[in-house]
Amino acid sequence: MASYDLDEQEKIAELKAFWGKFGNSITWLLTLIFAALAAWYGWQWYERSQALQAGVIYEQLEQAIKEKNLSAIKDSAGKLLESYGSTAYGQMAGLQAAKSLLEGNDAKSAKAQLQWVAAHAKDESYRIIARVRLAGILLDEGALEEALKLLNPSPLPVLEPLVLDRKADVLVAQNKLEEAKSVYLQAYNKLNERDAMRNLIRAKLESIGGTVPEPSLNKVS
């Protein structure tokens, strides 16, 4: 029994020595870990709270769009972009509001919405779509060089035909028909055969004297 007590005393002494040497560092490490966890949970709560509040305003935006109330559209979209721009609702609001404002003949406000999305949206696809739509407005306004600057090659293959199609539209407006034919054809070839956009691009291509090569058929010997 005395031997057992001695062993226990040795372990306690070792523990005290260890804690005396490393205790302060361990305490700081645990403090940092708990602080990080608290910050992470706090951020998760904050993001959920932001999303819920943004969702309420987005519903107001959708209602304003249904009613074609341009003033309410600008008000709701402005709130979303200013206070909740980092949420998915902010990105969607910019595109939705721009479409409705353009239909309401308020191109200036539509451009402002698209410029925000093109510059600040977290999702690359939203930024690309915003640039394409903004280029369309500039095309209508005759700002052709400015429109072309927005139509850089898309890093997302699925959206590349959209960018190329709009670029070709601008080239047609500049009377650069041979270049436009080439770009339309690139867009056409990147689309699936069943994609409805393919027929539209083909019609544009043929309207400026271009043609789509017929698919080669394997000859049976």
> pLDDT tens string for the chain (221 positions)?
445 566 676 666 666 666 666 666 666 666 656 555 555 545 455 456 566 777 788 889 889 899 989 999 999 888 888 888 778 888 888 999 999 999 999 999 999 999 999 999 888 999 999 999 999 999 999 999 999 999 988 888 999 999 999 999 999 999 999 999 999 999 999 998 888 899 999 999 999 999 988 765 544 44
Of 133, 201, 195, nearest to 158 by C-alpha is 195
Write out the two tokens for 9: 């005393």
pLDDT of residue 176: 96
pLDDT of residue 1: 46
Whole-model pTM: value is: 0.73
Going from N- to C-terminal start, the domains of the chain cover: 58-122, 147-211
